[in-house]
Amino acid sequence: MLVDITRVAGPRGVSASGGALRVGALTRHAELARDPLVAAHAPMLAEAAPLIARPAIRNRGTLGGSLATADPAAELPACAVALGATLVLPSARGERRVPAEGFFTGAMSTVLAPGEVVAAVEFPVARDGETQRIAEITRRSGDYAMAGLCLRHGPGMRDTRLVFFGVGDAPRPSRAAMAALEGRPLTPESVSSTGASRIAAA
């Protein structure tokens, strides 16, 4: 059975409070691209949205839909892992809060249980001096990534997060490369010194 939740008002809208940016699961990719709160507090999402498919799809596709689908080559699941997001999963039994890193269990599969829906996603707001970027290689404009990378480099060059997508069964942090960049400025030298082999092994 397929239930259309398009007209349910709850999982809509973007708000920021208490150090978290809460984005309703029905927020469309096109809305992520133009929302001022998203641009201010989770710029990686604003940069990622235009990379997703094409305008007609960005006007229909939603954040919650992308995360629940869990395509390993999709942008938003990788952003959620890179930014340390928390998924809010209500059901008739109550509400679970699941970190993005534990949500994706493999290609097109998640810990979402029968009866649960993704209602909202909470992203820690970007701190002053934090760098957030996403880059990907595609065959054509708007295609799924052949390989992609989400980067978060916190203030003081701390809390480095590197998450690759399109190169495995799910977006995964590259712990060795993260450790190699921790406390170092992002320069071509520091990035190349992390070593491609180390990234591949992580």
Partner 1 sequence: MINPLLVDEQVRGGIVQGIGGALYGHCLYDGRGNLLTTTMADHLVPMSAEMPDMHVGHVETPTRESLLGAKGAGEAGTAGAPAAIMNAINDALRPLGARVTAQPFTPARILAALGKV
- Say if residues 23 and 31 touch (Cβ distance below 8 Å): no
Count of residues that interact with partner 1, criterion CB under 8 A: 8
Binding to partner 1 (CB under 8 A): which residues in 143-162?
143, 146
- Binding mask 62-101 toward partner 1 (x if CB under 8 A, else -) reads ----------------------------------------
User: Minimal distance in Å, beta carbon 54 to partner 1?
Assistant: 8
The distance between the two most distant Cα atoms of the chain, rounded to a whole number of Å, is 53
Does residue 50 belong to the site contacting partner 1 (CB under 8 A)?
no
- Say if residues 60 and 129 touch (Cβ distance below 8 Å): no
The number of CA neighbours under 13 Å toward the Cβ of 156 is 2
Task: Name the strand (E) or helix (H) holding 116.
Answer: none
Contacts of 200 (CB under 8 A, 6+ apart): none
Stretch that binds partner 1, among 78-86, 141-149, 154-162, 176-184 (CB under 8 A): 141-149
Does residue 54 belong to the site contacting partner 1 (CB under 8 A)?
yes
- Closer of 9 and 56 to partner 1 (Cβ): 56
What's the chain's length in residues? 202
Does residue 196 belong to the site contacting partner 1 (CB under 8 A)?
no
Does residue 141 belong to the site contacting partner 1 (CB under 8 A)?
yes
Does residue 142 belong to the site contacting partner 1 (CB under 8 A)?
yes
Backbone conformation region of residue 198, classed left if phi is above 0, alpha if psi is from -120 to 50, else beta: alpha
Q: Which residues bind partner 1 (CB under 8 A)?
A: 54, 137, 139-143, 146
